Amino acid sequence: MLSLRTWILGLKSLLLHPMRSALTILGIFIGVAGVIWLLAIGEGISQAAQKQIEDLGAENIIVRSIKPPDEAGASVRTVEMFGVSRAEMRTIESTIPTVEQVVPIRELPQKFIYAGNQNATPIDGRLVGCSPAYADVTKLKPARGRFISSRDMATNDSVCVIAAVLARKLFPSEDPLEKPVYLPEKKEYFKVIGVLEPRNATAAIGGSLAAQDFSLDIYIPITTMRAKMGDEEVKRASGSFSRSVFELTQITIEVESPEEVPRTAEVIEATLRMNDPQRQDIAVIVPYELLEQAKATRLMLMVAFGFVAAISLVVGGIGIMNIMLATVTERTREIGIRRALGGKRSDITNQFLVETISLSVVGGIIGVLLGVVFPFLVIGLRWLTYTFAADTYAKLPDIAKTLQPEIVPLSIPLAFSISVIIGVLFGLYPAIRAARMDPIEALRHE
């Protein structure tokens, strides 16, 4: 058991060389903080990915239509009907017993103008035909007004619900509610009945669901879209023309329970590929399976980040060993005097171990404190960049703007324990070397 006197002597020895002790502590502190920081970043990335997948719904199955690729060099292109159809949607809903409901949408790229200011530059966005259930499935929440209703669907009303960012662009100084939005390409007007709360963009998921930005969307009844725009999409550009026919961009199928999702997904895919097993114009995405994959990926990410951070702790331990070996050489005569006055080898070993443990503990405590405040440092740095370097902030990738590090509770005791263990292990050899010195040779040392 280390006595209080041994601790006092060890701490006094460290204070004789404050700069050297501080630099040694710095190595440990960086290692401990690095473990907490990297695991927090990994956890933040993982939770963001899992939240994104959970938003799709663990009880949902998504079927996306995939447009065949354009032929290189073709100026005129016509595509026969592709993707999931309304007939297939009805078949899935009526023949598969585990399906509770099917929510269809159809997306079209469009230009939008506030009808009260048609001289303004049109804004490129996306027109989404959907049903009232779409808001529940995708967790869309109106900030003002309301979402599409069953009555709007039944009467094919020309009403729309607008995304928050697009509302600010189209109506910078007016209240959008009850105002008309004009689609110059379709020559159609839609009255704004609701403005949505902001919704974050999503990254690509599972290789089949592309990244999507919802900030420039306008939602209308899918029945109105069909009545006014049909199933044909025509694009004209300088020197090129393309025509394609599709009925639905996506259907979201709600299943009774997550346990039924894998089996139901297999039945749905078999139904859709019944006539053509090699069909390439659809993709079946199962968020439940993606969520399980994301959880497995999280574990691998934690292990990888933890291993990288642990390397810095080992480097800090090597620094402790280097410093303590130098200290042993400097204090050879002191060691000889203590041995000559009756000091035991265990006394010498304990003194040097106290010094290495003290360096490790102090470095570990500072590292833990800085590690815990890391999320606040990230938020503060992001705010400073946004406030004083807006151009630089605008160029940052989306993940840098939105990532919120999440401290992993286990990382704090783990990093601190490893720092102390490393201090003991890397300080043990110098301590034993000091204790094994021949007292007579040590007294002769200059």
Over residues 248-302, the pLDDT tens digits come to 999 999 888 878 888 898 999 999 999 888 888 899 888 766 666 667 777 787 7
Report the SS3 class of residue 217.
Answer: strand
Asked, for residue 284, whether it belongs to a domain, the answer is no
171 and 80, same structural domain?
yes
**Widest Cα–Cα separation across the chain:** 105
Asked, for residue 274, whether it belongs to a domain, the answer is no
428 and 314, same structural domain?
yes
200 and 80, same structural domain?
yes
Over residues 175-225, the pLDDT tens digits come to 999 999 999 988 999 999 999 998 876 655 554 555 577 889 999 999 999
Cα–Cα distance for residue pair 370/167, rounded to 1 Å: 41
Which pLDDT value is given to residue 331? 74
185 and 103, same structural domain?
yes
Asked, for residue 391, whether it belongs to a domain, the answer is yes
Asked, for residue 369, whether it belongs to a domain, the answer is yes
Asked, for residue 172, whether it belongs to a domain, the answer is yes
Q: 409 is in which domain, residue-wise?
A: 4-52+293-444
Residue 151 pLDDT > 90, yes or no?
A: yes
342 and 206, same structural domain?
no
Q: HEC string of 28-83?
A: HHHHHHHHHHHHHHHHHHHHHHHHHHHHHCCCEEEEEECCCCCCCCCCEEEECCCC
Asked, for residue 97, whether it belongs to a domain, the answer is yes
237 and 125, same structural domain?
yes
- Residues forming a β-bridge with 112: 123
In contact, 261 and 255? CB cutoff 8 Å: yes
46 and 67, same structural domain?
no
Domain count, the chain: 2
**Distance of CA 104 to CAs 9, 195, 209, 253, Å?**
76, 21, 16, 9
216 and 93, same structural domain?
yes
Q: What is this structure's pTM?
A: 0.64
Asked, for residue 277, whether it belongs to a domain, the answer is no
Per-residue confidence at 241, pLDDT binned at 50, 70, 90?
A: low
Tell me phi and psi for residue 171, to 5 degrees: -125, 70
Asked, for residue 278, whether it belongs to a domain, the answer is no
325 and 190, same structural domain?
no
132 and 169, same structural domain?
yes
Which pLDDT value is given to residue 322? 82
